[in-house]
Structure formats: structure tokens, C-alpha cells
Structure 1
Amino acid sequence: MTTAAPSGGGPLRGVRVIELGQYISGPYAAKLLADLGAEVIKVESPEGDPMRRWEGHGAMSPQFAAYNRSKSGVVLDLKTTAGLEALLALAETADVLIDNFRPGVSSRLGFGPEALRARNPRLISCAITGFGPSGPYASRPAYDTVISAVGGMYSQIVPADTLRPLGPAFSDLLSGMSAAQAVLAAMHARESSGVGEHIEVSMVGALMDFLTEGASTYLEAGHVAGPDSRPRRAQAYACSGSDGLAFVIHMSVPEKFWTGLLAVLERPDLADDPRFSSRESRVANYDALDAELKTITATKPREHWLRLLDQHDIPHGPLNSVADLFDDPQIAHMGLVGSVVAPDGTEVRVPLPSTRFERSGGPALTHAPVLGADNAQLVGATLAAAKEQSE
């Protein structure tokens, strides 16, 4: 089911955000604010955000569109006097400025925190970097694979015998979320102080914050978590039916889920097996129980098991692919898919924001902008005046 995007403006209606972002972390942070109703002006170089041409696409890859919807688009050459002046003039009208350049780049180009504060004391500036503003790694190029390795994420999801980067861009997305959260906190603080502040968000720090259980457990007890640590403790399993369709079971701590599962499997004898007779023994013998479950569930189709698991109130669910996700009846019921009109006039299905606000609603979503789409409206006069002064 396709649902119209919720309207009403959103809780951040009237907030102006300038984004100087490339690839994922900065654009995603600004996209999250746009989903809450903020006006986001994406400032790009004349060449544009490299994500536009991702995987051989022209000027509008689906990856770029995903992270840059509901934004205006401006092109400025920040290495020129006119381009810098246009940016600083925009900053005078803004509440927030987000960038994800390497440390020192914004100051070198003339729009570091001090320069911005001089033009707009209320402005909140947020810099997203790989390893923070200083230190032995600070100047390194910061891409997700590197940060996910250094920040401990891959040690939690990549088995030792695989050694291959896996999954989505964890550090990009988590640092974008951290940046959006920090911006909202700074906006709240500004209500009483009357002035903005500068925020530093590091991708590696966002990962460590996300991995708080593993990090804290090591610091307190010396336990080094690995890929199966959490599933083992949580008693979480993945199985397949006879039709090859996968599903998951999460028994957690309550004993009722284990006894219910035995009824589903029609294997009451497993309760007397010393390997599985208590939660502690099931944790210790996780691999053996995993093998038993896989053998049993392979005898009947997935739907058979999902029906029985539901009847016995055992935490479970189908292991959906992204394609399966949009056919899932719960996702359809929640209205999490909408549509926007692309620059070429075609209608494109998009995932909708997951949050719902009773009073303020949400913004009407729009497609990502073509390169420089809003130059004339937003910076045309400033650029023309700056060029005249320089001639």
C-alpha cells in the first residue's frame, strides 16, 4: 500500500539548515531534520556530491535520492570569494550548519566555527568527522569500512573465518543520527542561552556509543564480545522451513518461551536433555541447540512454524529481504511507504519517516534536488553582488 506523506509542517517547521555534506553521514543527518520539517539547503560544489553519480548513474542515483530528499539545492564554489560570501550570507539566515569535511577544511576555506559565529551568533554548527578534530588518525580519509573496523562494529558482525566487510554503512548512518540528535539538543539549549554553539561528532565515537553494551561489559568485566555473543545470551536463533524461507526466534529470558517452543516443535524430550535443561545450559550449548532447531524446522514450511509460534506467543518473525519488507502486511498496515515526484515527472515510491506527531504532523516530502536547482532563488542576488565587487 502506498500512502501519502503526512502533512502539517512537522515540529521543525521554520528551522533553516544548511548542509555541506557528501556521501552519507552529513546528508543523512540533514535528511533526518528535513523529515521533521526543517528547511534544508544542500550546498554542493560545481561537481556535485559524488553520491549523485554512484555506480555509474548520471546526476541522480537512487542512493543520492535516498539521503537527500526534501532539500533545496545550491551550487557554490567555496574556493572563490563570491561563493564563500554567498555561503556566509546564507548562514546569517540559518539556524544550523552541518558539514562532514575532514578536520580543518571548513576553517581553511573561511567558514569555520569562529567565522560563522561572527556572522550569526545564534547559528549551531555541527562538524561530522571520522576520528574527531585531532589525534593520530584525524587526518585520515574516513570511509565507513575503515570506521566500522576501527570502531569495533565489524568484530561484532563478521565471523573470524569470513573476514569480509558486511552490512550497511553503520558508522555513516549512526554518526548522522548522532549529529541530528545533538543539533536538536543544541537548539533546546539555545532557547535559554540565546546563542548557538559548535558540535563535534565523530563516526568512530558514534559507533562506540552504539556498541555501549559490548564496550561497557569489556571495561567492567573484561569480556570480549564477538558475533555470536549477543544472540547466545539473548537465545536468538535463525532457521529455515522446508521451503527454504527463513525466520527468527528470540527466547530471551522468560522460561515460558522455551517451554512454548518445545510444544511448537513437538519435542518435549529436549526439556530433559542436560544440554538444554536450563537457560544457562542453553547459552553454553548454543551451537548444539541451533543445530537441533535447524534440523526440526527443515521438515515443514515456514508458514507452519510462524503460525504455531504465533499461537504460543513466542517472539518470532520472518527474515525479510528488503524486497520482502514492502510486502509485509505489518509494514503495509503502518503506512510506511509513500511516493514523491522525481525531477523527470515520474512517481517514485519511498519509505516514509517512522515517527508520527499528533499535533505538528510532518512535512510534505519532495524528491532530492537536481544540481543547483535553487541557485537563482537562494543565492543568485548575493553571487551577482559579490562578483560585481570583485570586478
Structure 2
Amino acid sequence: MYGVLNGVRIVEQGTFITGPCAGMMLGDLGADVIKVESTGSGDPYRSFRNGFYSAHFQAYNRNKRGISLDMKRDTDRDVFYDLIRQADVYVQNFRPGAAARLGADAQTLQSINPRLVYCSISGFGPDGPYAKRPVYDSVAQATSGFLGVAIDPDEPRFIGPALADAITGIYASLGIAGALVERSRTGKGRLIEISMLEAMMHFSVEPFTGYFALGEIPKGTDRPRLAQAFIVCCRDGRLFAFHLSSLDKFWDALIEATGARHLADDPRFAVRQGRIDNYRELSEALGVIFSAHDRDHWVARFEGFDVPFGPVNSIPEAIGDPQVAHLGMIVPVEGRSEGARQSVRPAFTFDGERATGVDAAPTIDEDGHAIREALARNRAAWPERIRPDTLAKSA
């Protein structure tokens, strides 16, 4: 696969989402990602719902090669250290302390390879009062403050996708890319530590800044109210969204598109601040208007007016969307033996070139034999191999 990280090797020892997402992002950019899994069971996400190759696992482990290692066996641990010798990056999302027990802590691995960029992903950070707590996506969303500004307090519900997991993985890949750029100047690796709490707080930087600047506690309804964003239900029960923002021209175009002159004449909605102050009442009034026709009518109608709009697509509807088709977002999964035949391509375009396919997530130990053989061929050219026991003696 062509990409800007061709020639960069990543050793990823991740499970579930955060670590695998970071590895996937780097693999999507062309890096050679080798996923190291425990012998037998592998990444628990493999069997998240059914079988041993769940759709959840496939989603975050494409564009990788896979090897299974028993880190308690000296021979397998030596294979792991051989991988580290020629790696540019190592990624793990163990709970604090687990990497050291496996002999995969930063001090050990960077003693083997001083150029190694070591990325450790955790829930709450490597230390502190919460460090040893188990953390999942929903907990990180809640603790970080993100959920408090993302939900309607009158109907509190979690947001569907595992946002904290995926966003943390994306932040980790960004930090790794930056460290690789720095290493090109210094020749030295870095220890990158990032937690789900830190990632989600940074992701929510706007409401935090609003609180610091204005002294007001943000609420989940603030963003759509201030941005004048609406979701309405059409006659056929399908949802339609539009965003009026701060420009009066969008409000004027909405009135023209809907023919709702009575809303423009209503003193509650005559100016933008009034529309903000009476957001709920305006939303209800718009709901009545849009319930008069099916969604397809409104999509066709709005095409002729300067209003930011879009249907609230289901996944099948998004796949069939004309703009999605134009961008070639759905691509084949290459080299699959089971699982999904199609996937969403990486979001990047470089010099007009986009990915036209993705490699299937590896089955358990799918590339183990080939990786071991390649390591054996290269081993004779390497200096004496370093193991943790020799590191301890030399220290």
C-alpha cells in the first residue's frame, strides 16, 4: 500500500480499540504494522460478539500483519525483542505496570533500540489516584467532561460510537508521527504517554475555554442552540439536519426554501439572538413545517438554496450517498479469507492519490511463520542480542 509512512515499522501490542486504532491509523498511512498477540486467545476484541474474527476486530486491525507470541517463553520473547530491534515504533495500551511485567517497558525496549518511539496508552495516565482503575470508553467520556457537553441533560444517553477509544488512538498516532519527525533530526526515540482522559479533555478544548473565558458551565444543549443547528423529523419519519450558524443569509434562505414567512415575521425569531433565546420554540415550529413532506422532498428543495443541510443517513444510506460514491469512500478488503468484503478507505488524499483498497485484518498468527523466517535471515547480521537479564547485569 502506498503511503507517507512507507518504510516505517510499527510493533503494536494493543487490545480492544485504543492501541489497535493507533496502529490502524499508521497502517492506513502506509506503515508496516506488526500486531503482536498472545498465543491462543489473541486480542479479546476478536471474539467480542461472535466467532473469532468479529467485525469490531476487523474495523481496527486492517492494514496489519499478525504474529502470536507467548511472552512468558524465552524463545518467543527473543522473537519479540528481535522485532523491537528493527522497529521504529512500539505501541501498547496495557494497564499501568503490565508492560514491565512482560519485559516490554520503555526502559527495556529503548535499551535494545535507542531510536524506538515508545507509545504507552492508558485510561487515566501512568500514575495518580485513578491510575489503577479499569477504564472503558464510557467512563473516559464521563470523567473528562466531554459527555457533560455532548448530551441533553433532560435525556442523558451515551453516544453510540466508542469516541473516547477511537479519539485517543488518533491522538496517539499524531504524537507518534510528531516523534518520528523529531527523530529524523535527533536520531533518538521518545517515550509518549497519553491517556483517554487527557485526549478527551483536549478534544473538548472549546467548552473548557468557554468556561475559563466566560465563567459559565457549558451544557449539552449549548452547542446546537448557539450554532442554530436543527434536526427535524419529516413526514416519512426520516430525519433531516441543517445548520444556520451566525450568518443571517442562511436564515433568510431557510425561510425562502420552506416558504415559512410567518417565522420571519414572528418577533421571537426576527433576530439571531431571539432565535438562540427561543431555540426550543423555533425547533418545534420547524418540526411542524418539515412534517408536511417526506425527506426526499426537502433534500431536493434545499439543493436550490444556500443552506448547510443534509439527511441524517443510516449506515446503508451513507454508503449509497452520491458524494460518498464520488469520493470512493467504500473500497474492497484485499486478501480476506473471511469477514467483511468492503470497508471505509483512509480519509487522506496525498497529491490526488487515495487508497483504493485496504488489507484484511490478520487472522490469529497469520503472518507468524513469515515474520519468524525473516527475522532468522536477518539475525546473523545483528550484534549480540540483548535480553532483560543481560540488561540488569550491565546496569
Normalising by the residue count of structure 2, what TM-score does the alignment of the two structures yield? 0.91
Partner of 1:164 in structure 2?
Answer: 157
Partner of 1:146 in structure 2?
Answer: 139
Partner of 2:110 in structure 1?
Answer: 117
Partner of 2:246 in structure 1?
Answer: 253
Alignment partners' CA distance in 1, 2:52 and 2:263? 59
Cα pair 1:30 1:40 within 8 Å, conserved:
yes
Q: 2:72 aligns with which of 79, 89, 97?
A: 79
Alignment partners' CA distance in 1, 2:279 and 2:357? 48
Partner of 2:44 in structure 1?
Answer: 50
Does residue 210 in structure 1 map to residue 216 in structure 2? no
Shift of 1:84: 2.2
Show structure 2 runs of 5+ residues with no match: 380-384, 386-395
Secondary structure at the aligned position of 1:12 is classed as coil
Aligned length: 377
Deviations 1:34-89 (A, max 9, x none): 0110000000011100110011x222111111110111111111123223222111
Cα pair 2:18 2:166 within 8 Å, conserved:
yes
Alignment partners' CA distance in 2, 1:347 and 1:210? 31
Q: 2:260 aligns with which of 250, 258, 267?
A: 267
Cα pair 1:24 1:172 within 8 Å, conserved:
yes
Cα pair 2:53 2:339 within 8 Å, conserved:
no
| Higher deviation after alignment, 183-192 or 340-349 | 340-349
Secondary structure at the aligned position of 1:248 is classed as strand
Secondary structure at the aligned position of 1:181 is classed as helix
Secondary structure at the aligned position of 2:362 is classed as coil
User: What are the equivalent positions in structure 2 for 1:84-123 lying under 5 Å apart?
Assistant: 84-123=77-116
Alignment partners' CA distance in 1, 2:354 and 2:250? 39
Cα pair 2:35 2:66 within 8 Å, conserved:
yes
Cα pair 2:89 2:117 within 8 Å, conserved:
yes
Amino acid at match of 2:194: V
Mark the CA change 1:113 to 1:347 in structure 2 (over 3 Å): closer, same or farther: closer
Q: 2:122 aligns with which of 102, 121, 129?
A: 129
Alignment partners' CA distance in 2, 1:152 and 1:327? 35
Shift of 1:267: 2.0
Cα RMSD of the aligned pairs, angstroms, is 1.9
Alignment partners' CA distance in 2, 1:143 and 1:135? 18
Shift of 1:205: 0.8
Secondary structure at the aligned position of 2:91 is classed as strand
Mark the CA change 1:362 to 1:323 in structure 2 (over 3 Å): closer, same or farther: closer
| Higher deviation after alignment, 174-183 or 303-312 | 303-312
Partner of 1:191 in structure 2?
Answer: 184
Amino acid at match of 2:81: L
Mark the CA change 1:327 to 1:69 in structure 2 (over 3 Å): closer, same or farther: same
Cα pair 1:11 1:361 within 8 Å, conserved:
no
Secondary structure at the aligned position of 2:341 is classed as strand
Cα pair 2:332 2:356 within 8 Å, conserved:
no
Alignment partners' CA distance in 2, 1:359 and 1:235? 35
| Higher deviation after alignment, 156-165 or 229-238 | 156-165
Alignment partners' CA distance in 2, 1:229 and 1:346? 41
Normalising by the residue count of structure 1, what TM-score does the alignment of the two structures yield? 0.92
Does residue 339 in structure 1 map to residue 332 in structure 2? yes
Deviations 1:337-389 (A, max 9, x none): 11114643677011111111127765852101111112222236879x99xxx
Alignment partners' CA distance in 1, 2:90 and 2:219? 38
User: What percent of counterpart residues are identical?
Assistant: 38
Does residue 378 in structure 1 map to residue 371 in structure 2? yes
Cα pair 1:20 1:42 within 8 Å, conserved:
yes
Does residue 291 in structure 1 map to residue 292 in structure 2? no
Partner of 2:21 in structure 1?
Answer: 28
Alignment partners' CA distance in 2, 1:128 and 1:115? 17
Cα pair 1:99 1:126 within 8 Å, conserved:
yes
Using CA pairs below 8 Å that are at least 6 residues apart, which structure has the higher relative contact order?
1
Mark the CA change 1:121 to 1:330 in structure 2 (over 3 Å): closer, same or farther: same
| Higher deviation after alignment, 41-50 or 221-230 | 221-230
Show structure 1 runs of 5+ residues with no match: 1-6, 387-391
Mark the CA change 1:245 to 1:347 in structure 2 (over 3 Å): closer, same or farther: closer
